[in-house]
Amino acid sequence: MSVIAEGKLKLLDAALKLIPRSRSLTSLGLRELAREAGLNPNTFYRHFSGIEDFGLFVLEHVAKEVKQQVRLLRKTAASQGQATQDTVGFVFGYFLKNPAVVHVALQELHGASPRLRQAMRDQLDASAREMAEDVMERGLAPGLAPDAVHEISRNTIRHVLMRGFDYIECPAQRDAIQAETERFILRQFVGAIAEQEAPDIMARLQQRG
Amino acid sequence: MSVIAEGKLKLLDAALKLIPRSRSLTSLGLRELAREAGLNPNTFYRHFSGIEDFGLFVLEHVAKEVKQQVRLLRKTAASQGQATQDTVGFVFGYFLKNPAVVHVALQELHGASPRLRQAMRDQLDASAREMAEDVMERGLAPGLAPDAVHEISRNTIRHVLMRGFDYIECPAQRDAIQAETERFILRQFVGAIAEQEAPDIMARLQQRG
DNA sequence: CCCGCTTGTATACGGCTGTATACTTGATTA
DNA sequence: TAATCAAGTATACAGCCGTATACAAGCGGG
């Protein structure tokens, strides 16, 4: 036991292959999947009760892979002094090699299945927590309240995911997108620190609320 | 002429009614739409060549309505000194009354149809330009480069849309989401100004890149 | 050795879908 | 008033879909 059946893996691969075309995962046809996997449609039922069940399985698999990448990223970042642009570059590079990750994430995050949405949210929150920890441990945001770091991390994760989509889609603008994303991240941290420590700037914007 | 046929409007209404359930718009069945509209399936073909064509029509309609809301918002904002929280509250209130707008926007923005994606992008960019103009005309971001204002506006529009989804979905956390969104917007502007004018803060973060 | 379990297959059925063809109706307009 | 045309309907058909039932092959443990 504990070894995953061949057909189950084939269905997973088929899904990852089909997602860039059809997006939503929940809208993937069961027969379509089986066809792509070279299996009989009924094999699907040997492993999953329905499409949503299958979706959770796919999500779980993707999440595992992403976590592994994050761990790798943190390791290399800890050894050498890693800059924001290197990190963003690493992530976008990963997205480019695994577009299905981005597609499925964005799709299910706003998709029709509440269970898949929740699973995606949980996954993104976990990534955000990991990022926040990393930022704090490495002292990258000196003097910033932990709550603020967590909030910024959550915003950043989502934003990077969205821009990752653009990055995949618009090859001609990749440098610009990466630069914008880096500015975005930096601005959030700078803004949060200035909120605490530069009352003059805050005073000037006060009329906005 | 120039008056829109009854069936065409009925199909539009049906789509807006069905979108919250099925999301993606492109995945709406043609028969499903006709059923909801109380029409014969073939009536669809009297007005549209296919689902994508129909999607563009729906998007166009939604865009028109949103633009109208934005104009209304700018008017009331100009008369009384409008604060960020009022603006965010107004937008989220609108989203709450028209959830289909948020759903269709997020879905098609990352959806499978390139034409619909492009249409959504264009629409969001237009909204961002309008926001940027507003910010600059009202002098809300003193001393900030126009390019920066535009960039921040683009980021803000997307972010507000995403959080609008959460706002609709999680009634228990609406206040928190609104507060976070306001902080997000403020931080971007503060951060951009500090980039230009508070070199000490920048120096402290310099090691991040 | 054979029983039972897991994995995969074959066939089949009803339902829904997109779409083609042909008909009705009601308004416009020449 | 008669012709034209847009808008909506009726019927029909082939194709795909999810799923139910029944069967086959491999494999581990008694």
**Residue B136 belongs to domain with CATH number:** 1.10.357.10
pLDDT at B1: 46
* Mean pLDDT score across all residues of chain A: 92
pLDDT for res A5? 87
Contact A190 B188 (CB under 8 A): no
**Is the residue at B2 inside a domain?**
no
Collect all residues with Cβ–Cβ distance below 8 Å to B12 and sequence separation of at least 6: B57, B58, B61
* Mean pLDDT (whole number) for B100-106: 96
Q: What is the pLDDT of residue A109?
A: 97
DSSP string, chain B: --SPPHHHHHHHHHHHHHHHHH--STTS-HHHHHHHHT--TTHHHHH-SSHHHHHHHHHHHHHHHHHHHHHHHHHHHHHTT--HHHHHHHHHHHHHH-HHHHHHHHHHHTSS-HHHHHHHHHHHHHHHHHHHHHHHHTT-STT--HHHHHHHHHHHHHHHHHHHHHHHH-GGGHHHHHHHHHHHHHHHHHHHHHHHH-HHHHHHHGGG-
Position B206 scores a pLDDT of 58
pLDDT at B41 over 50: yes
Instruction: Judge whether residue A202 has pLDDT over 80.
Output: no
Residue B14 belongs to some domain of the structure: no
Q: For residue B22, give the nearest of A27, A32, A116 by alpha carbon.
A: A27
- Residues of B within 8 A of A18 (CB-CB) are none
CB of B187 less than 8 A from some CB of A: yes
Q: How far apart are CA A145 and CA B126, in angstroms?
A: 36
Domain membership flag for residue B207: no
Those residues whose C-beta lies under 8 Å from the C-beta of residue B2, and which sit 6 or more positions away, are none
- What is the reported pLDDT for A74? 86
Q: Do B194 and A189 touch (CB under 8 A)?
A: no
Specify if A30 maps to a domain. Answer: no
Average pLDDT over chain B reads 92
Q: In this complex, which protein residues place their C-beta within 7 A of any atom belonging to strand D?
A: A 29-32, 35, 41-42, 44-45, 50-51; B 5-8, 39-43, 46-47
- Tell me what percent of the residues of chain A surpass a pLDDT of 90: 79
Q: Is residue A61 part of a domain?
A: yes
Q: Which residue has the higher pLDDT, A99 or B196?
A: A99
Mutate which: A110, A136, A140, A180, vs B, most B CBs within 10 A: A110
User: What is the model's pLDDT at position B116?
Assistant: 96
What does the pLDDT average to over A122-147? 94
Does the pLDDT value for residue A63 go beyond 90? yes
A104 and A58 in contact (C-beta within 8 Å)? yes
pLDDT beyond 90 at B208 = no
Number of domains in chain A: 1
Domain interval for residue B191: 55-198
pLDDT level of residue B78 (50, 70, 90 thresholds):
confident
**Interface mutation target, options B80, B125, B156, B193, chain A, most CBs of A under 10 Å:** B193
Q: What is the pLDDT of residues B180-189, one digit of tens each?
A: 999 999 999 9
pLDDT band at A208 (very low <50, low <70, confident <90, very high): very low
CB contact under 8 A, A141 and B205: yes
Give the pLDDT band of residue A2 (cuts 50, 70, 90): low
Calculate mean pLDDT across residues B97-119: 96
pLDDT band at B179 (very low <50, low <70, confident <90, very high): very high
Residue A177 is assigned to a structural domain of this protein: yes
**B107 interaction partners in chain A (CB closer than 8 Å):** 110
Mean pLDDT of B26-33: 96
Average pLDDT, integer, range B183-199: 92
Pairwise CB contact (< 8 Å): A24 & B21: no
Which pLDDT value is given to residue A13? 97
- Percent of the residues in chain B that have a pLDDT greater than 90, as a whole number: 78
**A26 located within any domain:** no
Domain assignment of residue A7, yes or no: no
For residue A206, is pLDDT > 70? no
In whole angstroms, D29 C1' to A11 CA is 30
Q: Which residues of B touch A81 (CB under 8 A)?
A: 207
Confidence of residue A209 (pLDDT cuts 50, 70, 90): very low
Greater pLDDT, B86 or B46: B46
Partners of residue B111 in chain A, C-beta under 8 Å: 23
Distance, Å, A32 CA → C11 C1': 19
Tell me what pLDDT residue B2 has: 60
- What residue type is A203 in one-letter code? A
pLDDT tens track for A184-193: 999 999 999 9
Which whole number is the average pLDDT over B124-138? 95
